[in-house]
Amino acid sequence: MQKSSSLPKPIILLFIPIGVYILSYVYLAFYHGHIWIFDTIVHESGQHTLLKTILYASHFLGHIPVHTVLALFFTGIFLSLSQPCHNPVSLRINLVLCVGLSLFLALCIFISIHLWGQQDTINFIAQQKQSEVIYGQGGSWNLHLPSTMLQFLLIPVYIYAAKLLFRQNIIVNHTGIVYMLLSLFFFFIFSYINNPQLMANMKNVWQNPRYLAHSIRELMTFSATYYPIPLFFMLRHHQKYSGRTEGGHQKQNQKFLMIFLGAAFLILVAYQAYVPLTKGIGTLAQKPSFAKSGQLTITYLLASHFFEHFLDTIYFSLVCIIFYFFSFKKQTHS
C-alpha cells in the first residue's frame, strides 16, 4: 500500500489544460499590453474579443461530427487497452450526464443564434463554413480531415503512454471494439457525404497547405486541452474499481505496435509541417490590424486557438465520459 501511494496520480492530467489556458491568457495579455483582455479583440480574424472567442458557439457546432467520431475512438481505445472493469454505474449518473450534455448543446445553440445569427449557425452545422471568413463544401469536417486521420494514430499512443505513466495494467481486450468500429464507420460516412468524389477530394486535402497547417494546430490543441480531461476520469475510475495496478505491464508486440504508430504519426506530422513552411506559412494566416509586424506569431495563433475551442473541449469530455460509463452499464446487464 505504501508503494502504491507513491504512484503518480491521474489528477496531474487536469493541470495540463488548466496550465495551457493560464499560460495562453498570460501570453495574450502581454501581447496586448494589459491584464484584463476579455473585452480585447484577440481572434485571428480581427473581429472577436476573447470572451466571444471563448463563446464561439456556431464554430463549435460545426465541429460536433469530428468530435463525436474521435470521442468514440478515444473511448474505444481506452477500454480495449484496459483491464476489464465491471463496476456498475447507476442509471442516475448516466441520466445526469445525458441531461447535462443536452442542456449544454441547447445553451450553445442559443448562444450561437444570439451572438452569431441564425444563418452563421446553419452554415457551420451544414458544413458549409470553415472559419469566420472562409466558406467551402465540407466545412469544418474537410478542414479537419488531415488532423482527424492522424488522431487515429495519436490516440492509441497517447492513451498507452498515459497508462504506463500512471502504472495501470495494459490488457488488450475487445471491450471497446464496437466504439472503434462505429468511429471508423461514421468517419467514412461523413467523409463521403461531404465529398462525393471522395478520393479526389482526399488527395486535395492532403496537398492543401492551409489544411495541413491547421492540422498541426488541431493536434496540439487536442493533446493539450481535450484528451487529458476524459482520460483523468477514465484512469481514476479504473484505478478505483479494477484492483491495484501492477506497473503498467506491456507485451513486446504491443510495444512494437505503439512504436510503429508513433513513428508513422511523427512522419506524417513532419510532412504536414513541411508543406506549409515551403509554401510560406506566414501568407496562410489571417492578418488582423492588431498583429505586430503585420502578422501573428505561431505562439499567438496557438494561444488564441485554445480559447476558440473551449466549448469543444467541454463537449468532447462529456461525450467520452458518457460513452465510457454507458459501456459499463451494458456490461453489468450482460
Q: Which of 157, 159, 309 has its CA nearest to residue 228?
A: 159
User: How many structural domains does the chain have?
Assistant: 1
Give the pLDDT band (50/70/90) at residue 334: very low
Q: How many other C-beta atoms lie within 10 A of the C-beta of residue 303?
A: 21
Pick the more confident residue, 249 or 240: 240
**Would you state the pLDDT for residue 263?**
97
- The stretch 58-72 carries a mean pLDDT of 97
| 71-80, 165-174, 238-247, 259-268: least confidently modelled range | 238-247
3-state secondary structure of 256: helix
**Would you state the pLDDT for residue 256?**
92
**Would you state the pLDDT for residue 302?**
92
Give the pLDDT band (50/70/90) at residue 276: confident
How far is it, in rounded angstroms, from Cα 159 to Cα 145?
21
pLDDT in tens, 205-232: 898 888 898 899 999 999 999 999 999 9
Which range marks the domain in which residue 54 is found? 2-332
pLDDT at 3 over 50: no
How far is it, in rounded angstroms, from Cα 163 to Cα 70?
19
DSSP string of 218-232?
Answer: HHHHIIIIITHHHHH
pLDDT in tens, 95-140: 899 999 999 999 999 999 999 999 999 999 999 888 777 777 788 9
How far is it, in rounded angstroms, from Cα 191 to Cα 134?
19
pLDDT at 18 over 70: yes
- Highest mean pLDDT (candidates 58-72, 91-105, 136-150): 58-72
**pTM of the full structure:** 0.90
How far is it, in rounded angstroms, from Cα 246 to Cα 71?
28
- Sign, CA dihedral 281-283-285-291, equals positive
pLDDT at 243 over 80: no
**Would you state the pLDDT for residue 2?**
42
- The stretch 192-207 carries a mean pLDDT of 84
pLDDT in tens, 294-308: 788 889 989 999 999
**Would you state the pLDDT for residue 284?**
61
**Would you state the pLDDT for residue 249?**
52
**Would you state the pLDDT for residue 332?**
40
pLDDT at 244 over 60: no
**Would you state the pLDDT for residue 333?**
38
Using a pLDDT cut of 90, give the percent of the chain over it: 62
| 132-136, 265-269, 279-283, 295-299: least confidently modelled range | 279-283
- The stretch 16-34 carries a mean pLDDT of 96
**Would you state the pLDDT for residue 5?**
53
291 backbone φψ class: left, alpha, beta (φ>0; ψ -120 to 50): beta
Copy the grid coordinates of residue 293: 509586424
| 88-92, 110-114, 224-228, 319-323: least confidently modelled range | 88-92
Copy the grid coordinates of residue 273: 509541417
Pick the more confident residue, 104 or 286: 104
Residues 6+ apart with CB under 8 A from 197: none
Q: Which of 138, 306, 161 has its CA nearest to residue 208?
A: 138
- The stretch 37-58 carries a mean pLDDT of 92
